[in-house]
Structures are given as structure tokens and as C-alpha cells.
């Protein structure tokens, strides 16, 4: 079973392709012999990535310079995919930004900037590629959301609000376009080391503190994320629609475990 996921030759678009998760997702797709369309803002970087994938994995690929907040830029990306490959199979929305400030200090421009990339950008990419998917009568969306779409990411302005919007956008896409053979799901990661989160891991003590909050006692890797993306992108998840996959090493269920007990929670249980 060399092509268990069935992604060989599937045209897969990845936004935020040269970011921490984006690169790993593109590499994982290429390793499955998928056709990789890498979208990001820096033309030179996407071109380098796609050249490397073509050379290493002997796949077909396309590098597209695209700002997901600009309608014409996204439409141009769809045109390039149509002209080159004629169709699209999978779109993975990954492009995102994170800005910090206590709410009372946050300026309106920053609030809007985060919503523009994280929510409006996902919408534009989904809307423009979705029209093509509807004509084809098939397609799959995987949107990178976050555990912080359900729990506020404090002092991070519009980040949680934007991702909560992504969760609902994904459900609406599934509900309206399911009849056209289109699926839409979100991945909800937490505690993954990438350029976006690198500053949180600069201090080993902070990193250790973060590990202890998870059930798995480790920080997530971009490979963990890419593996889950492959599954949701593939027909192996063909009856999974309008839902979310939490990928956080069990962090979300550890709240109760944070409540102190005399002698420690395990110690208490062993002595009572
Ligand atoms: N790192 C984590 O712990 C974590 C956890 C949960 C969710 N996420 C989400 O995962 C996704 C990827 O995050 P990452 O950690 O790889 O971040 P990253 O900063 O490494 O990559 C983000 C990429 O998005 C691109 N981008 C930003 N604005 C863009 C625009 N307007 N148009 C096109 N591309 C644009 C950037 O150029 C960059 O390559 C994001 O949506 C993020 O919110 C990350």
C-alpha cells in the first residue's frame, strides 16, 4: 500500500507555505507525490521551496506569490492553478499572524489587521478556490485554526476571535457546499514550535513549564501537524466533514489536573 492516503498527483494548495507549518505541510504532501502549489507573500522564498520539492521528490509544483488579504492576488492565484493544472483538489489555509497587546492598549488598526489575514484571508481563499471546486463537484478544505479558538489567547488581541470565525466559516462551507462534494474541516493545534511561537520557547524553563501542561508531556512538532493535515486532506477522511481535530498532546483536558491537592494529586490518591 504505497499510496494509502491516495494523495498522489492531487493538486494541493497551501497558503502560508513558507511558514513553520507551511513548509512541513508542503514537504509532507510532496513526499506523498502530491502536486504542491505553494502560496505565500515572498516570491523568492516560495520559488526556492517549490524548486527544492521538485528536485527532491520529482513532483509537479507551482510557486505563487500571493497576499491572502487581496482579492485580486487570490484570484490571480486561482487563475495560475487553473492555467497550469486545470483543477484543484485540496486547499490548506495556513497563512496567519499573531499580535500581542492587552485589550485596553490594542489599537484598532492592529485588531483589523489580524482579522484581515486570519479570517478574511481564509474567506477569500476559500471563496475563490471554492467556486472552482463547485464547478468540478469535488474538493477538500483544511483550515488551520487553534485550540485558542475556543479558549481566549489572552493579551493577543483579535487572534482568538479570528480563529473562532474560521471554525464557523469552515462549518458554513461544509453545510452549503457539501452537496457539491466539498468537505471542510479545521485543525486545532496548540503548543507547536514554529517561527510564530519561537519566542515562547527561548527560555528552557518556560518550555518545560509548557510541556508539563500537556498530557503527552512534550511540545508539538510541525510534523505532528503535517501528518494530521495529510489525513484530513485525503479521502481516508472522506466522511469527516464540518468538524475539528484538536492536536495539542491532550493539553485541553488537563485543567482539572492543575488543581492542587495536598502531597500532589498522584501522591494524594496513593495515600488516601
Ligand atoms: N505555532 C503554533 O503554536 C500555532 C498554534 C495554533 C495555530 N497556529 C496557526 O497555524 C498557522 C501557521 O502558523 P505558523 O506557526 O506556521 O506561523 P508562521 O509565522 O511560521 O507562518 C505563517 C505564514 O503565513 C504567511 N502570511 C502571513 N500573512 C500573509 C498574507 N497576508 N498572505 C499570505 N501569506 C501570509 C507568512 O509569510 C508565513 O509564511 C497559523 O494560522 C497559526 O495561527 C499556530
Strand partners, 187: 144, 245
Counting from 1 in the atom list of ligand 1, the atom nearest the Cα of 18 is 39
Average pLDDT over residues 42-55: 98
Helix (H, G, I), strand (E, B) or coil at 191: coil
Q: Is 201 a catalytic residue?
A: no
**Where do runs of H (alpha helix) occur along 86-217?**
108-115, 121-136, 159-177, 204-212
Q: Which pLDDT value is given to residue 1? A: 54
Residues whose CB is less than 8 angstroms from the CB of residue 29 and which lie 6 or more positions away in sequence, other chains included? 7, 12, 14, 36, 230, 233
Residue 178's pLDDT band (cuts 50, 70, 90): very high
Question: pLDDT digits over 114-158, tens only?
Answer: 999 999 999 999 999 999 999 999 999 999 999 999 999 999 999
Counting from 1 in the atom list of ligand 1, the atom nearest the Cα of 189 is 6
Packing angle of the helix pair 20-31, 43-57 (nearest 10 deg): 30
Question: pLDDT digits over 12-23, tens only?
Answer: 999 999 999 999
Q: Which pLDDT value is given to residue 58? A: 98
Q: Does the CB atom of residue 96 touch ligand 1 within 6 A?
A: yes
Mean predicted lDDT score pLDDT of the chain: 97
Q: Which pLDDT value is given to residue 2? A: 76
Cell 485589550 belongs to residue: 103
Residue 26's pLDDT band (cuts 50, 70, 90): very high
Mutate to test the pocket of ligand 1, among 14, 15, 20, 70 (most ligand atoms within 8 A of CB): 20
Measured CA to CA, the distance from residue 262 to residue 266 in angstroms comes to 10
Amino acid at each position: 500500500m504505497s499510496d494509502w492516503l491516495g494523495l498522489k498527483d492531487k493538486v494541493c494548495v497551501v497558503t502560508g507555505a513558507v511558514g513553520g507549518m507551511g513548509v512541513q505541510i508542503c514537504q509532507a504532501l510532496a513526499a506523498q507525490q502530491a502536486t504542491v502549489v505553494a502560496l505565500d507573500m515572498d516570491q523568492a522564498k516560495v520559488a526556492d521551496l517549490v524548486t527544492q520539492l521538485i528536485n527532491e521528490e520529482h513532483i509537479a509544483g507551482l510557486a505563487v506569490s500571493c497576499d491572502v488579504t487581496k482579492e485580486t492576488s487570490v484570484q490571480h492565484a486561482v487563475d495560475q492553478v487553473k492555467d497550469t493544472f486545470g483543477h484543484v483538489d485540496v486547499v490548506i489555509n495556513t497563512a496567519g499572524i499573531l499580535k500581542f497587546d492587552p485589550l485596553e492598549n490594542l489599537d484598532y488598526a492592529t485588531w483589523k489587521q489580524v482579522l484581515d489575514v486570519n479570517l478574511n484571508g481564509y474567506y477569500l481563499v476559500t471563496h475563490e478556490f471554492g467556486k472552482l471546486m463547485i464547478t468540478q463537484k469535488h474538493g477538500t478544505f483544511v483550515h488551520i485554526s487553534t485550540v485558542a479558538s475556543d479558549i481566549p489567547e489572552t493579551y493577543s488581541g483579535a487572534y482568538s476571535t479570528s480563529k473562532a470565525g474560521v471554525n464557523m466559516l469552515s462549518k458554513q462551507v461544509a453545510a452549503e457546499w457539501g452537496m457539491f462534494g466539498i468537505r471542510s474541516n479545521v485543525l486545532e493545534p496548540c503548543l507547536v514550535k514554529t517561527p510564530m511561537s519561537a519566542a515562547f520557547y527561548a527560555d528552557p524553563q518556560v518550555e518545560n513549564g509548557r510541556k508539563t501542561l500537556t498530557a503527552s508531556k512534550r511540545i508539538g512538532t510541525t510534523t505532528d501537524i503535517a501528518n494530521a493535515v495529510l489525513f484530513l486532506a485525503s479521502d481516508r477522511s472522506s466522511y469527516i466533514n464540518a468538524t475539528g481535530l484538536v492536536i495539542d498532546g491532550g493539553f485541553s483536558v488537563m485543567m482539572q489536573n492543575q488543581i492542587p491537592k495536598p502531597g500532589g494529586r498522584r501522591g494524594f490518591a496513593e495515600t488516601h
